[in-house]
Amino acid sequence: MAGRGIKGTDDGSGYAEQGENAELRRELENLKEFVGKLAQASSIEHIFTKGFDDIKDQLEDKLAPLRALAPVRAVLPEKAAASLRDIRLSLNRPNFNLDETKSIASDDQSAKEQAS
């Protein structure tokens, strides 16, 4: 039965491996801390020395493709805007689909809520 057991489990080599791993992990942590400090220092230094403008420019360049996804929506020319206002004014009408008393009450309620 003993021959079928897991070899080397009690010869001490496992403990040696665990010790090595722990040491490697500690070194990795130190390295991460060191790199983090370096990066942080360089970012802060970059902002202090070059200001936010460079970062803004970099971001604009990187995000430019996303901007192209949005459709172009220009301000309506004054004549068209005036026409649209005129159409709304000309065709203004009461809404008979709403219950009159209910709509007035709900308006009062929302006005009170806004006031509070």
* 85 belongs to the binding site for other proteins (CB under 8 A): yes
Closer CB to other proteins, residue 59 or residue 80?
80
Q: Which amino acid is at 31?
A: L
Using CA atoms, how far apart are residues 106 and 4, in angstroms rounded to an integer?
A: 82
Residue 59 CB, nearest approach to other proteins (Å): 17
Cβ 91 to other proteins shortest distance, Å: 6
Q: Single out the residue of 71, 102, 112, 116 in contact with other proteins (rule: CB under 8 A).
A: 71
Phi, psi of 74 (to 5 degrees): -85, 160
C-alpha distances (whole Å) from 20 to each of 28, 34, 91, 101 are 12, 21, 83, 81
SS3 54: helix
From the list 24-32, 37-45, 84-92, 105-113, the region that binds other proteins by CB under 8 A is 84-92
88 to 107: interface string for other proteins, x by CB under 8 A: xxxxxxx-xx--x-------
